[in-house]
Structure 1
Amino acid sequence: MTVNDLTARREAREATRIASAHARSWQLVSAMHPDVFDAAHLGHADQIILDVEDAVDDSQKAQALENVVDWLRGGGTAWVRINDVTTPFWAQDLEVLAGVPGLSGVMLAKTESAGQVTETYERLGRVVPVMALVESALGIEEANSIARAEGCFRLAFGSGDYRKDTGAANEPIAMAYPRTKLVLASRIGGLTGPVDGPTVGPVSKATREQSSDAVTLGMTGKLCLNNEQPEAVNRYFTPTPADIEWAQAFLAEFEAAGRVIRDGSDKPRLARAQKIAERASVYGVATF
């Protein structure tokens, strides 16, 4: 592929990319594998996240960061998962990434306080959004203040590290509380619904079940670990035909009645119908 061909394909993909505020699939890509950056960028993921944190050994952090910067300066566009504030790599990540073109935002690993988000935001010139990756018991309990921190763009659930921190099992009942906590915190902070943690392995029954659990609780996206998962995740986090049909019928009935609320049950149903309509429109799956 020539440089001109790659540039054209990148521009075409960006023209159809779902904005970060509404993104469903967030694909993590190890920053030590720059040979796959373009494949991920041109794939089905709504957004990609180049990972210089967990996917990279400490001895390779500098090289990973260099790979990211070279690709971004070469015309790529992506989010970057940076190291947490307790490590010596956090400040280095911010110093190197500040002002780099193509940086859509940063995901702050192991976020545990509002101050960590705001300081990250400030060091990046107060212009780069910060997604707070919450991965511990403390982070979950501080989620309300994290969501309201200046610079916080969205919350994401680091489910694997959360289980490691708490000893919780990877079961719906064990994951219900932290997921719900992030959903409520996002609402309190005025943020888009949170991004769920990844499902390890290829697309499977587990991917569908965990996505369904997340959607039921109010989450609006999911981290992905390979090129196969984003297409499935996008499907699971898009309103279903049945949901869209119901929303269309309810809104049509509401309009025909002169937009008059008949009883208390209409208000939550109206809010749900409007949310479904908004998301269906964003993802181009229905016209209201």
Structure 2
Amino acid sequence: MNSRSTRSALYIPGSKPRALGKARGLPCDVILFDLEDAVAPLAKVEARTILRDALAEGGYGHRLRLVRINGLDTEWGEDDARAAAGMACDGVLVPKVGSPADLDAVAALVPDLPLWAMMETPLGVLNAQTMAAHPRLQGFVMGTNDLAKDLGTRTRGAVTTALQHCLLAARAAGILCIDGVYNAYQDEAGLRAECEDGRDMGFDGKSLIHPAQLDVANAIFGPTEADIDLARRQVAAFDAAVAEGQGVAVVDGRIVENLHVVTARATLAKADAIAALERT
């Protein structure tokens, strides 16, 4: 279980210096610096320079910095990948990945950075297991808007199978998996419900389109004080039981075995990671 905090992954247009500057002070765990959908065609070339300079300037703290490039099947994709290879970022987010070969093509252009994959096509979802096993891949980001478009559906329920399939593949490979966006950024109740749904499925966080969504995502995908307290007590009780030659402990009337302690330790590690982020 990965302890890195990815509760909130906010898309920021790579073409807008003001937005790039504002992002330095936002309480997001991940910044998805976008050269693809959020950048108009006429601004795509200039966006590379704007984003490169913003990342070189720094100030983003311990946030995970991912650059989403255009697809290699577009006129901008290869140059985006080459530019990203020289940027001060933590990885490259590849759109509309359909197979491991798509990742191989980007990996050849970006030799030294981890890759992330947008899971947003039917073919990509069907190939999720083989892509999750790619040696350069660190995580999936669900692209639910494009996936819904390709499926011809309007509901989240219709993409549940795809979400769960990608999550299973990610967990089998030990990589991260971030849920798709919620489009109605002023609908806090709807966002909260979808975040809770994604958290309960097992996603590591939520991708977001507006800073107004950050507080909800951070609260729902982060451990509560009660979660942290329980985790500490589970670890302490289990360690005490082991010291006495026992294999299980009891906390709040429930059996605590090794598997529960693994989860408890991961909760505490995530809480520590969140605290470190919030100090920057």
TM-score tier after normalising by the smaller chain length: 0.7 to 0.9
SS of alignment partner, residue 81 of structure 2: helix
Report what 1:3 is aligned to: none
In 2, distance between residues paired with 1:223 and 1:231?
13
In 2, distance between residues paired with 1:249 and 1:21?
22
Distance 1:266 1:21, change over 3 A: closer
Runs of at least 5 residues in structure 2 that lack an aligned partner in the other structure: 250-254
Instruction: Give the alignment partner of residue 96 of structure 2, picking from 97, 105, 110.
Output: 110
CA drift at 1:50: 1.8
CA drift at 1:90: 1.1
Percentage of pairs with the same residue = 26
Instruction: Give the alignment partner of residue 141 of structure 2, picking from 122, 134, 156.
Output: 156
The answer to whether the 8 A contact 2:144-2:181 is kept is yes
Does residue 94 of structure 1 match 2:81? yes
Report what 2:252 is aligned to: none
- Match of 1:41, as an amino acid? R
Report what 1:4 is aligned to: none
The answer to whether the 8 A contact 1:31-1:68 is kept is yes
The answer to whether the 8 A contact 1:118-1:150 is kept is no
- Match of 2:100, as an amino acid? A
Distance 1:68 1:268, change over 3 A: same
Q: TM-score, normalised by structure 1?
A: 0.83
In 2, distance between residues paired with 1:122 and 1:43?
33
Report what 2:215 is aligned to: 231
Matches within 5 A, 1:175-214: 175-192=159-176, 194-200=177-183, 201-202=185-186, 204-214=188-198
Instruction: Give the alignment partner of residue 31 of structure 2, picking from 48, 51, 56.
Output: 48
Report what 2:122 is aligned to: 137
Question: Relative CO higher for 1 or 2, CA cutoff 8 Å, sep ≥ 6?
Answer: 2
In 2, distance between residues paired with 1:34 and 1:93?
18
- Match of 2:205, as an amino acid? G
RMSD over aligned CA atoms reads 2.4
Runs of at least 5 residues in structure 1 that lack an aligned partner in the other structure: 1-18
CA drift at 1:48: 1.4
In 1, distance between residues paired with 2:114 and 2:204?
18
Q: TM-score, normalised by structure 2?
A: 0.85
